[in-house]
Amino acid sequence: MAKYFDVHPDNPQPRILAQIADSIRADALIAYPTDSCYALGCRLGSRDGTERIRAIRKLDDRHHFTLVCQDFAQLGQFVQIDKDVFRAIKASTPGSYTFILPATREVPRMLQHPKKKTVGVRIPAHGVTQAILAELGEPLLSSTLLLPDEDEPMTQGWEIKDRLDHVLDAVVDSGECGTEPTTVIDFSGGEAEIIRHGAGDTSRFE
């Protein structure tokens, strides 16, 4: 049975944030809100969490996982960025974007695309997500909470708790979340390639 954390959207309770972070450190798989839609998340080095996300979403090994980072300094530890790409990403963060970039050695091999050696990274503009990341002190390994054969992610914490209670360890609820996943921009080839049109404005990358 998944724990249910009711977090204030504007003033997240420190005690609850500490409990969420402790759960993640103890290898919990959580569902949590972002500025685009709900996501599944676990600690960066969790093989169990990674396999459970793959099982819930029925993902193959070519799926790009995302490292959800608190800020640009943290993001820079896990991906290789040249000056032009740096400026483009810096101007778009925090926000509803996921960027595909070459991974550094800090990223476990199991999280990298098997051929491209790339990984997704993002910095969300969501107060509760930012508060969790600050308490945790490291990125969350994440994937959009979009179930197989469904067109849109679930938007309500109680609904996620009800439907996925048997496969999650915790659900973080801070009110209704959006339904549109992030815009995905692939910079691994040096130029911006829009992989998915989503919540983030793509005009600056076109």
Dump pLDDT digits (tens) for 146-198: 999 888 888 889 999 999 999 999 999 998 888 889 999 999 988 999 999 99
Given a cut of 90, whether residue 125 has pLDDT beyond it is yes
Mean model confidence pLDDT for the chain: 93
Which structural domain range is residue 120 located in?
3-205
Q: Enumerate helices (H) and strands (E) in the chain, giving the number of each.
A: 6, 10
CATH of the domain at 187: 3.90.870.10
Of 9-13, 105-109, 134-138, the least confident: 105-109
Residue 46 contacts residue 23 (beta carbons within 8 Å)? no
Between the CA of residue 70 and those of 62, 65, 122, 129, 156, what are the distances in Å?
25, 16, 9, 8, 24
pTM for this model (two decimals): 0.94
Q: Between residues 118 and 178, which one has the greater pLDDT?
A: 118
In the chain, beta strands by DSSP E: 3-6, 30-32, 39-43, 66-68, 97-102, 118-122, 140-144, 170-173, 183-186, 193-196
Domains in the chain, number: 1
Given a cut of 90, whether residue 13 has pLDDT beyond it is yes
Q: Residue 155: which residues within 8 A CB-CB, separation 6 or more? A: 37, 38, 176, 177, 178, 179
Residues 36-59, mean pLDDT to the nearest whole number: 94
